Chain A
Amino acid sequence: MIEAAKTIRAGEEMLAEIERRSGQDVSSCYQCGTCSSTCTATLAFDYPPHLFMRLLQLGLVERALASRTAQMCYDCMTCSSRCPVGIDVADVIETTKNIADESGRSRPPKEVALFRRLFLRNVCRHGRLHEAGLLAWYNIKSGQFFNDLSLVPLVLRKKKVHLVPPRIRQRRELRRIFRQAKTKPGAK
């Protein structure tokens, strides 16, 4: 009984934290489902956005923190622009994701994490994104050698690719930016 009370209290505190950081009132969601009907990412989610809101309302914050929804939402904000109450649903999800991340409660699926990591490494090296390099590295590192291979002849024919990476002059400044961001995260 006491354990249950503790869990409830912890859930309430975390919900308050999510509401404070996102500036949104989770309790004002009346479960109309508009957000979920417009969301294009639900097939990668365990809870569509309206159920995600419901989890929070019920104080099941741990589930929300550990959810794939928090990790896979790509913040397109379509849901937010449609919500009849004016809740910024995307911000609620994003805030939950940030809290999950800061406290090490969940990680993005490995392909998504890999894509983000390689993207950033690519930008850190050259200052600009080398798309062909990103695709090649992604396929090698993920073991999906044939991912998007069907696009290659098309991309070559349409001259949509540079084989040599573009580079900026001030690459040292770029590395300073990456170092700064890594050592001093969380400046919200």
Chain B
Amino acid sequence: MSKYAYFPGCSLASSSMEYDTSFRLVAREFGIELQELDDWNCCGASPAPHHWVEVLGVLLAARNLHIAGAGEAPLVAPCAGCYNRLKHAQYKLERNQELRRQTSEVLGEEVRYQTEVLNIVKMLNREIKPGALAERARERLAGVRLAPYYGCLLVRPAEVIGYDDPRDPKKMEPLLRATGAEVPHFALKSECCGSYMGLARKEIVLRASHRIIEAAVAAGIDALVTACPLCQQNLDLRQGQINRAFGTSFRLPVLYFSQAIGLALGASPEELGIDSLAVEPDVDRWLKGAA
């Protein structure tokens, strides 16, 4: 049985609880053991990598790497933002001795930063063979058009992430196909949703996210599938604001990767926190379509 240290991060612990719930469910279904990282702290998230805060971002992430380094298991961070910060810190620590020294000084011992860090896509691709998923899914999502939306933090910058293509990522596809769903090409799959500007510069987020939703609807996509809580919230929670700003009436569900897989496994929408999405998909219709 595979074992992972699990870094939920602030979003999965609060506003994106459905991502946490569905991720744990999928892990359980495939016999993967998740041990929540003890006393983890905020990864530093978006504002931390700026200016003096550049060092702060590394130190915050490093404390988590250090805790994980005490164990043997690799670290999985389903939130694309947290994953990006953890990988970034690792990259910097690897290359900068002075930063390593500073970090060790704050932690009071030699920093352990080399634990393998995985995002949800890499981890599930490693643990679940598409064939095994397909066998259990029995084409449950047949006829549903699910398009992966990767955004930025999951795949960029390539020299830090080193997994999937930064411009034309594809690694969600094999498992999504195994659910029985149709997985069309989505041209804007690695465009930016507007990032963390939702409070300070809302018009940026509304415009960027509107563009993505509009393109998905035009392509006849039933739902987007993401691995990033920030993208999910910009596209889903703010969809009402987008509709008001642009005079549109889109109702495009934006699911987490683990929710899509969970549905294919036959888990109920409640177990997967589907009802926590602002725009809820009509799951019954999806499942009936396949039956």
Contacts and interface: CB of A to CB of B under 8 A. Distances in A.
A44 interface: yes
A177 B60 contact: yes
Contact of B45 (A44, A111, A119, A185): A119
A25 to B, nearest CB: 17
Interface string B116-138: 00000000000000000000000
Interface string A136-180: 001000000001101100110011111000101110011011101
A78 B41 contact: no
B237 to A, nearest CB: 6
B59 A72 contact: no
A73 B187 CA distance: 23
Contacts of A161: 14-15
A110 B193 CA distance: 22
Interface in B148-204: 152, 155-158, 166-167, 190-204
Contact of B240 (A75, A150, A185): A150
Contacts of A114: 200
Nearest to B201: A44
A155 B200 CA distance: 19
A115 B47 contact: yes
B191 A154 contact: no
A6 interface: no
A98 interface: yes
Contact of B14 (A109, A131, A169): A131
A2 interface: no
Interface residues of A, number: 64
Contacts of A147: 199, 202
Given A174-B41, A185-B52, A80 B102 contact: no
Given A76-B192, A177-B59, A187-B98, A160 B197 contact: no
Nearest to A78: B192
B34 interface: no
Nearest to B168: A81
A180 to B, nearest CB: 5
A158 to B, nearest CB: 5
B42 A127 contact: yes
Contacts of B63: 173-174, 177
A181 B204 contact: no
A113 B42 CA distance: 19
A44 B196 CA distance: 14
Contacts of A28: none
Q: Which of A40, A81, A161 has the most CB of B within 10 A?
A: A40
A20 to B, nearest CB: 16
A101 interface: yes
A159 B276 contact: yes
A153 to B, nearest CB: 11
A170 B39 contact: yes
Interface in A31-78: 38-41, 43-44, 72, 74-78
B106 A176 contact: yes
Given A115-B200, A186-B54, 12 more contacts: A40-B193, A74-B46, A77-B152, A80-B157, A81-B158, A127-B42, A128-B13, A154-B278, A160-B14, A161-B15, A177-B106, A187-B98
Interface of B: 10-11, 13-17, 39-42, 44-56, 59-60, 63, 96, 98-99, 102, 105-107, 152, 155-158, 166-167, 190-204, 207-208, 211, 237-238, 240-241, 275-278
Interface of A: 38-41, 43-44, 72, 74-78, 80-82, 88, 90, 97-98, 101, 109, 111-112, 114-116, 119-120, 123, 127-131, 135, 138, 147-148, 150-151, 154-155, 158-162, 166, 168-170, 173-174, 176-178, 180-182, 184-188
25 contacts: A40-B193, A44-B201, A74-B46, A77-B157, A78-B152, A81-B155, A81-B156, A88-B157, A98-B51, A101-B51, A115-B199, A120-B48, A123-B41, A138-B200, A150-B240, A151-B241, A155-B15, A160-B237, A168-B40, A180-B106, A181-B56, A181-B59, A185-B51, A185-B54, A187-B55
Closest 8 CB pairs of A and B: A40-B208, A181-B56, A185-B52, A76-B192, A116-B47, A129-B10, A77-B156, A111-B200
